[in-house]
A and B are shown apart, each in its own frame.
Chain A
Amino acid sequence: MEGGEEQRLIGLARKGDMHAFGRLVDAHQAAVRAFLRRLDGNAADADDFSQDAFARAWEVLDRYDGRSSLRTFICGVAFQYWRRARRAGARRQAREDAYAGLSDTETQSDPRMAQRLALRRAMEELPEDQRAALALCLGQDFTHQEAAEVLNLPLGTVKSHITRGRARLQAALGVAAEQGQ
């Protein structure tokens, strides 16, 4: 979606036009959902956070000043929702229990599943900000600058998070490959 068209839709949405807001949701849902799926690991929870983030974005659209892209703004809101829910703790525990149940059966039969679980475990061990930086930038959806805006961190910190986090994930994948052989 071009910048001019997006600004026009934002203007309409601010006046209460739900159709215009629906088009903005369509334009940005892929990026926001992908970010949260990589961050959280559970597609259903991730989509839940994404929907909450879009609904909240509708409420605070007047506060959006246009200095960053709308996608960045919504991802920032989504990250706050995710962080709050994570601190509540219940989801994480449930997911870890589920992985513990899966690890004995799935890892031996499907090397791709083994890689996925190894990556997910490695992600779980990373600090929140590092994990979010990776979730934003790994799929090349966001630039480092955009990730810094989403996470409200200095650019240098984001770059260092990505370098260190990537190394941890690659190490985890190496371990998974050895287990698969």
Chain B
Amino acid sequence: MTDDLHMAELLGEAPKTPDPGFRVDVLARVAARARRRAALDRAWKQIVMFTLIGVVFPIAQAFGLSWHAAQPVLLVGAVLGFASLFAALSIQGPRPLLARSRALLRAVSRARQNDHHVTIMAA
């Protein structure tokens, strides 16, 4: 029997029923790709931002803007930078940034306490 269906079956059969495992794998892959894309977007934004910051000063110098003359502009820039940081923290919530800082501070203070405790015990 060399009909089409027979050849198709020999070449590879279709799964008889929908496989829930396959669906789970697909959804996991979708999530992983979304995470990867988001990470890539973040990385690009950071690269662009830091490049712009780095490029501003040489350009300013090239146009003959001295450090003294640029001070008001830099002051405004710094104020705007802090304002946008504050706005971002207010909108997105301070949790990730502050939680990381708090955890770091806690770890440092705990390490110091342990050192102090060891010193007292040794004395």
Residues of A within 8 A of B (CB): 18, 21-22, 25-27, 29-31, 33-34, 37-38, 40-41, 43, 46-47, 50-52, 54-55, 58-59, 112, 115-116, 119-120, 123, 135, 137-141, 166, 169-170, 173-174
Q: Are B14 and A22 in contact, CB atoms less than 8 angstroms apart?
A: no
Q: How many residues of B contact A (CB 8 A)?
A: 24
The digit string for B63-96, where 1 denotes a CB below 8 A from any CB of A, is 0000000000000000000000000000000000
**Per a CB cutoff under 8 Å, which of B8, B10, B30 touches A58?**
B30
Indicate if the CB atoms of B5 and A140 lie closer than 8 Å: yes
Q: Tell me whether chain A's interface is mostly helix, strand or loop, or mixed.
A: helix
Instruction: Knowing A22-B27, A55-B30, say if A30 contacts B14 (CB, 8 Å).
Output: yes
> Once the chains are docked, how many angstroms separate the CA of A169 from the CA of B2?
9
The answer to whether B2 and A170 have CB atoms under 8 Å apart is yes
In contact, B12 and A41 (Cβ under 8 angstroms): yes
Ordered nearest first, which 7 A-B pairs have the shortest CB separation?
A37-B12, A34-B14, A139-B8, A26-B18, A138-B8, A38-B11, A55-B29
B33 cross-chain contacts in A, Cβ below 8 A:
55, 59
Name B's interface SS. Answer: helix
- Decide if B7 is an interface residue (CB 8 Å cutoff): yes
Supposing A26-B18, A51-B29, A55-B26 touch, asked if A139 and B10 sit within 8 A by C-beta, the answer is: no
CA A169 – CA B7 in complex, angstroms? 8
CB-CB under 8 A for A116 and B10, given A27-B18, A166-B4, A173-B2 = yes
Complex Cα gap A41–B30 (Å): 25
B12 neighbours in A (Cβ, 8 Å): 34, 37-38, 40-41, 43, 46
Closest-by-CB residue of B relative to A31 is B14
For the complex formed, measure the closest distance between the CB of A138 and the CB atoms of chain B, giving whole angstroms.
Answer: 4
* CB neighbours of A115 from chain B (8 A): 10
Give chain B residues whose Cβ lies under 8 Å from the Cβ of A38: 8, 11-12
Q: Which residues in window 18-57 of B have CB below 8 A to A?
A: 18-20, 22-23, 25-27, 29-30, 33
